[in-house]
Amino acid sequence: MKHVVDHPIEDHFGSEIRTGDKWFQDGAGRVVLENNIEDYLIEVARVEFCRAIE
């Protein structure tokens, strides 16, 4: 993980990015906090989560 001094202020979902937060930037330049990764996968990447049952 690289440390960024001049980090973005907010992520793609409007959440404030504070010192010490983990975030990623996708190929389109969207910045997403680690806490919002599930929202990103569902809303942006169109991932469908499934659960196995007996």
Rounded-to-integer distance, Cα 24 and Cα 51, Å: 26
> pLDDT, tens digit, for every residue of 24-39?
999 999 999 999 999 9
> pLDDT, tens digit, for every residue of 15-24?
999 989 999 9
Name, in order, each residue with C-beta under 8 angstroms of 2's C-beta and a sequence gap of 6 or more.
Answer: none
C-alpha to C-alpha distances, 33 to 19, 42, 43, 44, 50, nearest whole angstrom:
12, 14, 14, 14, 23
